[in-house]
Amino acid sequence: MVNNVLTIGGVNIAPGETKKIELEMPPLYTATNMSIPVYVKRGKRPGPIMFVSAAIHGDELNGIEIVGRLIRSKAIERLRGTLIAVPMVNVYGVLNQSRYLPDRRDLNRSFPGSKKGSLAGRLANLFFKEVVSKCDVGIDLHTGAIHRSNLPQVRADLDDAEVLEMAKAFGVPVLLNAELRDGSLREAASESGVKILLYEAGQALRYDEFSIRAGVRGIINTMRHLGMLNKSRSKGHNIERFIARQSGWVRAPESGFVTHLAQLGDHVEKGDKLAIIADPFGNYLDSLESPAEGVVIGKQNIPLTQEGEAVYHIAYFSEPDTVAEHVELLQDNLLPPEQHPIS
């Protein structure tokens, strides 16, 4: 930054200014112009530069609402440093209600991208160059895939001490130490020295109030931890954080119709029945059983499955029963009892 002026998409933003910027993308073949919406708020006082991004996968809508609520929040009015909020990165995917881009590529496997590459590569390059590379830290918002739900969780390189403290500050019980994937935003950001968290919660093409509230509060908690916002004076129930070093999917042993027994956030023991599979006549075929003690952090939602399909995602903790208790506590903090999504 020259003279402390931040430039994004050719637009200068000085300390104390707030601007909405349109990052020009390749147009549709109908000659319709396309752009990535970017909201930039700069405090008058210095501090970290943070980006918050949503809808890198175009069908993951929870993050769009999280960004919208963050922008409208009174909590960010006395900001130190800079917040760059991007409600939709993959605008093409949002239009088509699709995870992917029109070239059928996954944007989150295309970073850092190339100015002369594929459509996915060019979009990745634009977002990375104009937003990510100018930041110190970032939070990338995701949901489960279509017909799959994720318990609110943070995935990150928890072997990095600074990232670990950010993850703890976010304030959800489940922290998953996740390896970097080739071509992901998280990998490209990490290689550029940007400390980044990935927030996973809810399912594709649906709003989930619990996941949204946990996400908004988590971002604000992280900003307070980084000194971008004043510390909160409110005293809520203390939510413990638990690190899972391993997780795994339980796959269907048969094709058929599924009756789910275990739900998101459940503490399960080794051998517990998670679901029952029946044929179209209602005859019992088989059951899914937990391979070890853990907590359900992801599950398939529809009652149909093919043999070998991933149905339950279980994270393994040293104290899984305590993790489940704190998931319930987080619900109590964020939602009235009648709105609890997890039974």
Looking at residue 270, its pLDDT comes to 96
Q: Whole-number mean pLDDT of the chain?
A: 95
Token pair belonging to 154? 């943070």
Taking only Cα atoms into account, the Rg of the chain, rounded to an integer number of angstroms, comes to: 21
Find out whether 276 and 258 touch, Cβ atoms under 8 Å.
Answer: yes
Token pair belonging to 240? 């413990």
Report, in this order, helix, strand and coil percent for the chain, each rounded to 5.
25, 35, 40
Looking at residue 216, its pLDDT comes to 98
Looking at residue 2, its pLDDT comes to 45
165 pLDDT higher than 70? yes
User: What does DSSP assign to residue 208?
Assistant: -
Q: How far apart are CA 121 and CA 45, in angstroms?
A: 35
Cis peptide before 112 (omega within 30 of 0): yes
Strand locations in the chain, DSSP E? 6-8, 11-13, 18-25, 34-42, 45-53, 80-86, 137-142, 148-156, 174-177, 195-202, 242-244, 246-251, 256-260, 267-268, 273-278, 284-289, 294-300, 304-305, 310-316
Can you tell me the mean pLDDT for 165-182? 96
Q: How far apart are CA 218 and CA 221, in angstroms?
A: 5
The 10s digit of each residue's pLDDT in 286-324 is 999 999 999 999 999 999 999 999 999 999 998 899 999
Looking at residue 126, its pLDDT comes to 98
Confidence class of residue 335 from pLDDT cuts 50, 70 and 90? confident
Q: How far apart are CA 208 and CA 315, in angstroms?
A: 21
Looking at residue 131, its pLDDT comes to 98
Looking at residue 340, its pLDDT comes to 58
Looking at residue 238, its pLDDT comes to 82
pTM: 0.95
Looking at residue 343, its pLDDT comes to 42
The 10s digit of each residue's pLDDT in 212-243 is 999 999 999 999 999 999 988 766 668 899 99
> pLDDT higher for 238 or 75?
75
342 pLDDT higher than 60? no
Burial of 80 by CB count in 10 Å (0-12 exposed, 13-18 middle, 19+ buried)?
Answer: middle
Share of the chain above pLDDT 90, in %: 92
Looking at residue 141, its pLDDT comes to 98
The 10s digit of each residue's pLDDT in 49-58 is 999 999 999 9
Count of C-beta atoms within a 10 Å radius of residue 241: 17
Amino acid at 159: D
Looking at residue 252, its pLDDT comes to 98
11 pLDDT higher than 80? yes
The 10s digit of each residue's pLDDT in 250-273 is 999 999 999 999 999 999 999 999
Looking at residue 3, its pLDDT comes to 59
The residues with which 277 forms a beta bridge, in sequence order, are: 258, 286
Can you tell me the mean pLDDT for 83-100? 97
